[in-house]
């Protein structure tokens, strides 16, 4: 049994919240650069160039990539041979988020009650997803999620008879309905299967898949490529101003489901798709 002080998680999360909001991950930088090279619309190309300049300014001046520094979504993959000491794990995670957003001067966007709407003033609580895995390590991933794109996400409870075409149509419907509101070019995570909430979690996790790496399931990989091409044929383009690149990448994760259902969730993310990961 390996013991880990919860204070180590707090320290890591503080740094990761700041890192994810100020510096885009290398894979997303490369994806944005590739999008600019592919874009044929002069206006679309100009938008993508400005987005790349924004990344440079944010990193050099240590300011947020986007004014919406998001609600902190934290994935904890915890080895079953780990024992946490020194306090509550959940409190430690939220303390790391609090320190990161307060000391990093990141925008505080979380309200305590969804109807009363009083700001918590430190961007807590985070949305935390736990997974118990073999081993004695803890993998932490922070994905600050802005709500311009989050608001455009959808869940469809399809009938089994809708099949593959129904899944494709659901994704395209979500993207077309989102239009410019999701700050394209987008990255799209899709969850298929499980239950209502499992599909949504799969879609969120799909946003963390390595860029341009297709599913190991041949039929899903083919669907990823096909739907991505159809999305980019809509002409929505960068910032919704028209062009070839509406989405830079799309990933589909699947899970077994009930004989009577076909849940499909689409979690749309803007061009930054912020995330940072560490292993303790």
DSSP codes of every residue in 151-172: TT-EEEEE-GGGHHHHHHHHHH
Two tokens at 179? 């239009």
pLDDT tens per residue across span 224-274: 999 999 999 999 999 999 999 999 999 999 999 999 999 999 999 998 999
Identify the burial level of 77 via C-beta atoms within 10 angstroms of its C-beta, where 0-12 means exposed, 13-18 middle and 19 or more buried.
middle
Q: Give me the residue label for tokens 């991505």.
A: 228
Q: CA–CA separation, 193 vs 48, rounded Å? A: 34
Write the CB contacts of 78 (distance below 8 Å, at least 6 apart in sequence): 130, 131, 132, 133, 138
Q: Check residue 152 and give its pLDDT.
A: 96
pLDDT tens per residue across span 185-216: 999 999 999 999 999 999 999 999 999 899 99
Q: Check residue 143 and give its pLDDT.
A: 97
Share above pLDDT 90 across residues of the chain, in percent, rounded to a whole number: 98
pLDDT tens per residue across span 85-102: 999 999 999 999 999 999
Q: Check residue 30 and give its pLDDT.
A: 93
pTM of this structure = 0.95
At residue 112 the predicted structure's pLDDT band, cuts being 50, 70 and 90, is: very high
Query: First-to-last CA distance in the chain?
Result: 14
Q: Check residue 173 and give its pLDDT.
A: 98
- For 5, phi then psi, to 5°, come to -70, 135
Q: CA–CA separation, 148 vs 68, rounded Å? A: 8
């Amino acid at each position: 049994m390996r013991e880990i002080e919860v204070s180590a998680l707090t320290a890591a999360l503080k740094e990761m919240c700041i890192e994810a909001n100020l510096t885009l991950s290398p894979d997303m930088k490369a994806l944005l650069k590739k999008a600019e090279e592919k874009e044929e619309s002069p206006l679309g190309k100009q938008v993508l160039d400005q987005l790349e300049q924004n990344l440079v300014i944010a990193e050099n001046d240590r300011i947020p990539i986007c004014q919406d520094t998001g609600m902190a979504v934290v994935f904890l993959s915890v080895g079953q041979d780990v024992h946490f000491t020194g306090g509550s794990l959940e409190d430690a995670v939220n303390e790391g988020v609090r320190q990161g957003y307060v000391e990093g001067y990141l925008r505080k966007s979380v309200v305590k009650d969804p109807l009363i709407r009083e700001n918590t003033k430190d961007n807590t609580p985070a949305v935390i997803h736990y997974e118990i895995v073999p081993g004695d390590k803890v993998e932490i991933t922070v994905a600050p999620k802005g709500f311009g794109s989050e608001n455009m996400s959808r869940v469809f409870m399809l009938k089994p008879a809708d099949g593959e075409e129904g899944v494709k149509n659901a994704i395209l419907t979500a993207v077309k309905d989102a239009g410019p509101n999701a700050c394209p070019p987008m990255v799209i995570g899709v969850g298929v299967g499980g239950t209502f909430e499992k599909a949504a979690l799969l879609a969120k996790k799909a946003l963390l898949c390595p860029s341009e790496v297709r599913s190991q399931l041949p039929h899903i990989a083919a669907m990823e490529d096909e739907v991505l091409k159809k999305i980019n044929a809509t002409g929505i383009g960068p910032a919704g101003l028209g062009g070839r690149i509406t989405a830079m990448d799309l990933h589909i994760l699947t899970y077994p489901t009930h004989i009577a259902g076909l849940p499909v969730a689409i979690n749309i993310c803007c061009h930054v798709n912020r995330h940072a990961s560490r292993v303790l």
